[in-house]
């Protein structure tokens, strides 16, 4: 069993904080599918937390169905990160994570995220202030962790050195995305370089991250790098059930079957229900319009369904489109997608739109 400081995890698999996606509805959805050890909120701005802006309060929501919950904070030495961390603890965080890896301008231009990799000394001092504040406030009950990239660019691979310094001041675990800031999400994650961080900090868990879109990737990343666990980001957006399948592979050596298309549609319907429960019908409609393209990557050629959802004028139209698709595939015992394959003609099913006789291509790579 894996621990982050005093926090026991039931699985070595973490749901990454993903801007715009990991709201409470999606986190609970992934947990319900099984295999999630800890799930993280969207990135939280430290100043916005203390102002308690409505948007930040939405992003930071958690409850008893969403535990253990991690809250990821971003900012720099001039920001009230220790105070924000205390706020997060008081609002349900079981783990506090410091963002040291986000490459996007919204974060990095505020001297947070990946820019923290350019001054390891000051970053370590900042982390110590946060660790000390949280330790005093919780009597050591809540660990502080950090998520980083390998460095700003290949000429400045600082992750092993920074991770060692962070471990020395009390950081309980580090997650390493196997790319440099200048890469954004291009190229291929360097899992061997994650292994260099593992070697640098043998006394705390290191979680690998980057290009994990299949259960088998989890096992391979852990084998190549020696990391204690894996954080999954974009792979979870298309397949929230990836945690369950990866955990089964780790536990038994067998990944288990790919969910049937009907089962995947059940998950999408559940996501819609959770979004309505936590955010109301209007915001649930917007969320599903945004998310259906991710789900579609795991379902083959379901363009008519995706278009129906994108063009839906209201929540009930989205619900009806999904229920119609679910009913159409209820009796099929084929996985929706493994390798390239073609669905049999649906001559006896009245879909009411163009689902019949579609080709199911292989998934697009990330």
CB 240 within 8 A of CB 29: yes
Residue 260: exposed, middle, or buried by beta-carbon count in 10 A (0-12, 13-18, 19+)?
Answer: middle
Angle at 247 between CA 210 and CA 306, to 5 degrees: 65
Label each residue of 160-185 as H, E or C: HHHHHHHHHCCCCCEEEEEEEHHHCC
Contact criterion met (CB below 8 Å) for 161 and 196: no
- Taking the alpha carbons at both ends of the chain, their separation in whole angstroms is 31
Q: Are the C-beta atoms of 256 and 241 separated by less than 8 Å? A: no
Strands (E), 181-236: 206-209, 229-232
Catalytic member of 38, 102, 120, 227: 102
Q: Cα separation of 116 and 122, whole Å?
A: 8
Under 8 Å between Cβ of 42 and 71: no
Characterize 83-97 residue by residue with b for buried, 16 or more Cβ atoms within 10 angstroms of its Cβ, and e for exposed: ebbbbbbeebbbbbb
Structure tokens at 267: 């998950």
DSSP classification of residue 359: E
Known catalytic membership, residue 120: no
Which residues 6+ apart lie within 8 Å of 222 measured at CB?
Answer: 12, 208, 228, 229, 230, 250
**Do you find a cis peptide bond into 68, omega within 30 degrees of 0?**
yes
The CA angle 180-290-20, to the nearest 5 degrees, is: 45
- Give me the active site residues, please: 102
């Amino acid at each position: 069993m894996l621990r982050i400081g005093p926090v026991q995890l039931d699985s070595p698999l973490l749901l990454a904080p993903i801007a715009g996606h990991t709201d409470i509805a999606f986190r609970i959805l992934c947990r319900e599918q099984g295999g999630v050890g800890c799930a993280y909120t969207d990135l939280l701005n430290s100043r916005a937390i203390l102002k308690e802006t409505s948007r930040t309060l939405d992003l930071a929501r958690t409850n008893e169905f969403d535990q253990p919950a991690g809250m990821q904070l971003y900012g720099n030495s001039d920001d009230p990160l220790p105070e924000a961390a205390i706020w997060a603890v008081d609002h349900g965080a079981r783990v506090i994570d410091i963002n040291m890896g986000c490459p996007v301008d919204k974060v990095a231009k505020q001297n947070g995220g990946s820019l923290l990799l350019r001054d390891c000394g000051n970053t370590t001092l900042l982390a110590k202030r946060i660790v000390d504040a949280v330790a005093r406030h919780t009597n050591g009950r809540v660990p502080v962790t950090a998520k980083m990239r390998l460095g700003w660019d290949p000429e400045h691979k600082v992750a092993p050195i920074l991770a060692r310094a962070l471990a020395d001041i009390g950081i309980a675990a580090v997650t390493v995305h196997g790319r440099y800031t200048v890469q954004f999400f291009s190229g291929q994650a360097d899992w061997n370089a994650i292994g260099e961080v593992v070697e640098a900090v043998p006394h705390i868990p290191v979680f690998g991250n980057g290009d994990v879109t299949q259960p088998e990737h989890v096992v391979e990343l852990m084998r190549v790098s020696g990391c204690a666990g894996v954080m999954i980001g974009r792979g979870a957006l298309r397949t929230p059930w990836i945690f369950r399948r990866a955990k089964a592979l780790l536990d038994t050596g067998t990944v288990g079957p790919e969910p049937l298309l009907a089962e995947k549609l059940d998950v999408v319907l559940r996501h819609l229900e959770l979004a309505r429960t936590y955010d109301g019908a209007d915001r649930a409609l917007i969320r599903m319009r945004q998310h259906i393209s991710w789900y579609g990557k795991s379902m083959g050629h379901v363009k008519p369904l995706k278009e129906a959802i994108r063009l839906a004028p209201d929540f009930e139209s989205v619900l009806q489109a999904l229920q119609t698709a679910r009913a159409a595939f209820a009796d099929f015992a084929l996985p929706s997608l493994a390798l390239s394959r073609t669905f049999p003609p649906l001559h006896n099913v009245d879909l009411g739109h163009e689902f019949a006789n579609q080709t199911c291509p292989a998934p697009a790579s990330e």
